[in-house]
Amino acid sequence: MANLPVGLVSHTRRVQTLYKKAVRSLEDWYDRREVFRYHAVLMRQRFDQNKDICDMRVAKDLVEKGEKELFEKQHWHPRKFPESPGGVAYGREVVPPDWVVDYWHPLEKAQYPEYFARREERKKEFMKAWEKKYGKPQISTH
């Protein structure tokens, strides 16, 4: 959900996105490099023919037709980058949270004395800033 577009998208950005998706679609269809490059050059020529159109109604209509054509001609099994959403390795690397370092053994912490000294200073600074913004935590005994 984090990579959904929000807000308004300019015409230029729509054209750029359409071009990139079109070239990626060509990569899905043509696995030989020289064949792909030939079709990519033809695709670029189609975009360059319409780059000087000043009437936004015509330009918008062309983009919508291009998006429709791209949808109709998309590959039945598009390639996905491994680390991208939908890829085989998306979200595979687990980044441990920061508090895990607090539970290191003292002998492990002794190997990095400067880091842990600075870490303790930053933790104190963070606590001061938090208390300044939100106040001291109220301990209620029921």
Q: What pLDDT, on a 0 to 100 scale, did the predictor assign at position 93?
A: 86
Q: Which of 60, 72, 61, 59 is nearest to 22 (CA)?
A: 72
3 state DSSP class of 97: coil
Query: How confident is residue 63, by pLDDT bands cut at 50, 70 and 90?
Result: very high
8-state DSSP, 138: P
Q: What pLDDT, on a 0 to 100 scale, did the predictor assign at position 138?
A: 81
Give the range among 42-51, 69-78, 81-90 with minimum mean pLDDT.
81-90
**3 has a pLDDT exceeding 70:** no
Which residues neighbour 66 within 8 Å (Cβ) at sequence distance 6 or greater? 18, 22
Query: How confident is residue 5, by pLDDT bands cut at 50, 70 and 90?
Result: low
